[in-house]
Amino acid sequence: MLTKDEIQKLIKIAVEFRQKSFLVRSKHKIGASVITTDREYYGGCLIESVVTGLGVCAERSAIDHSVIHGKYQIKALCVVDTKQIYPCGACLQYLMQFYQINNQDIDIVVSDIYGTYKITSLKNLLPHGYLTKKHLFSLKKYQS
């Protein structure tokens, strides 16, 4: 369960990273952040491409930022936009890999730029995400 301080820090980081969005197709900035189970925070932003499909969602950018730093055990993800929006299906499925490492649900915080937020969970948003026992053995090396 997230504390109020953790939620506020997640939102603050996502708002900050939202400003770093790389926009070549739209003017739609989105920021995201994650907190790991050891309370490390990482941010990400929307990165667009002139070629459809080559950009990166803010959520996956934040997740990748944590992975780059060797952090695989994600406790929560936050996404910030001008209004509360939820992660897309691709981002939820991507996050499902990290759910499998701890076999613990991941909180999802959706917030507007003013700090008004809602909390849900990965399993609530993606109750039937793709899981496979075949790959679980390879994920064990990422557990603490």
The dihedral formed by the CA atoms of 45, 110, 73 and 101, expressed in degrees to the nearest 10: -110
SS3 8: helix
The candidate with the shortest Cα–Cα distance to 112, out of 76, 82, 78, is 82
The fold of the 4-142 domain, in CATH, is: Cytidine Deaminase; domain 2 (3.40.140)
* Domain residue extents for the chain: 4-142
pTM attached to this predicted model: 0.93
Please give the pLDDT value at position 64: 98
Taking only the tens of pLDDT, the chain with its 144 residues reads 899 999 999 999 999 999 999 999 999 999 999 999 999 999 999 999 999 889 999 999 999 999 999 999 999 999 999 999 999 999 999 999 999 888 899 999 999 999 999 999 999 999 998 876 666 656 667 776
Please give the pLDDT value at position 95: 97
**For residue 143, which phi and psi values (nearest 5 degrees)?**
-80, 155
d(CA 90, CA 60): 9
Please give the pLDDT value at position 44: 98
**For residue 129, which phi and psi values (nearest 5 degrees)?**
-60, 155
